[in-house]
Structure 1
Amino acid sequence: MSASSLKLRMMIVTALFAAIIGVLAQVTIPLPLVPITGQTLAIGLAATILGWRYGTLSILLYLALGAIGVPVFAQMSAGVGILFGPTGGYLFSFIPTALCIGLYLEKTSFNLKNAIIANIIGMFISLLLGTVWLKYIAELSWGAAFASGVAPFLIVGLIKAVLAAWIGIMVRQRLASANLLYA
């Protein structure tokens, strides 16, 4: 397979993951300030399957789609106002999250143990950056920001991190064996 053909396949898979993130964003459990969503599961999947470069590109495409008005954010929302509202820190945190997950896996190896470690690190990156943003945008105390932005997400986040690792490694192996992915 030629390099340009493989690059085209990777760009298609990257766009597909931006769409998957948008679909999983609609799986929500509403909470007062920040809902629990399927976005972070999708971010972990994108980075675990695609690696840092294409995983991060899929996040950037997802954010760009939402910014221009395509309703891909949680609860079918969109627009720049969402990016700079209380949940914006979580949305922007997806960029370094995908970058770190993908880099960790590319520097070690794409196996289940490393994917679990990488996705747990990614979960904490999202929670940290999102909570700092939430604290300042919503003018909360650190305690209130932690109570709204971290505490409700720890157990669910760990479950999603393990799921993203397990499903991600399995799908990555299958896509690579089908020549749909850089191995």
Structure 2
Amino acid sequence: MTKDQLKLRSMIVTALFAAIIGVMAQITIPLPLVPITGQTLAIGLAATILGARYGTLSVILYLVIGSAGVPVFAEFSGGISKLVGPTGGYLVGFIPAAFIIGWYMEKTSFSFKNAMIANTIGMLVTLAFGTAWLKIAAELTWAAAITGGATPFIIVGLIKAALASWIGIIVRKRLQSAKLLFPAKGKINESV
């Protein structure tokens, strides 16, 4: 298979992950300020499986589609208003989170341990962006923003990080053996 064919397949998988993020965003547990959604699990999966470049591109594509008005954000919503509203910081925070997860994996190894570290960092990045944005957009105190926008998501976030790590490493190996992804770059150990 040529490098161009492999690149095309990686782009197709990237678009597929943008769609997966949109589908998983519809899995929602409502809370007073910010709902718990499947988005963050999907972001972790995309970055763990695709790495920094394609994982981040899948998140950006998802955000562009949602900003254009396609109802792919939580609770079948869409539009630019979601990016500038009280929960917009979480959406924007997905971009650096995906990049950091993928970058960490590429710089270390695609193992469960490193995926768990990377996904935990990614979760914290998302919560930091979301909490700061929530504080400003909803005109909350820092205590209220942290209590409503970060604290309820830590345990659930760790569970999602573990799931994204475990599933992500397995799926990545299978996609690579099917020649649907670029091989890992740098000093990568592809063991679980």
TM-score of the pair, normalised by structure 1: 0.99
Q: Which runs of 5+ in 1 are unaligned?
A: none
In structure 2, what is the equivalent of residue 5 of structure 1? 5
> Structure 1 runs of 4+ off > 3 angstroms?
none
Q: Which runs of 5+ in 2 are unaligned?
A: 184-192
Distance 2:28 2:11 in 1: 28
Distance 2:87 2:33 in 1: 8
User: What root-mean-square deviation, in Å, do the aligned CA atoms of Structure 1 and Structure 2 show?
Assistant: 0.5
Deviation string 1:35-84 (CA, Å, 9 cap, x unpaired) is 00000000000000000000000000000000001100000000000110
Find the residue that maps to 1:71 and give its secondary structure: coil
In structure 2, what is the equivalent of residue 70 of structure 1? 70
In structure 1, what is the equivalent of residue 166 of structure 2? 166
Q: How does 1:41-120 map to 2 (within 5 A)?
A: 41-120=41-120
Distance 1:14 1:134 in 2: 29
Tell me by how many angstroms 1:89 deviates.
0.1
Tell me by how many angstroms 1:3 deviates.
1.1
Deviation string 1:139-171 (CA, Å, 9 cap, x unpaired) is 000110011101110110000000000000000
Deviation string 1:90-122 (CA, Å, 9 cap, x unpaired) is 000000000000000000011110000000000
In structure 2, what is the equivalent of residue 31 of structure 1? 31
Identity between Structure 1 and Structure 2 (%): 69
Distance 2:104 2:180 in 1: 22
Give the aligned residue type for 1:15: A
Find the residue that maps to 1:82 and give its secondary structure: helix
Distance 1:131 1:180 in 2: 36
Tell me by how many angstroms 1:182 deviates.
1.1
In structure 1, what is the equivalent of residue 17 of structure 2? 17
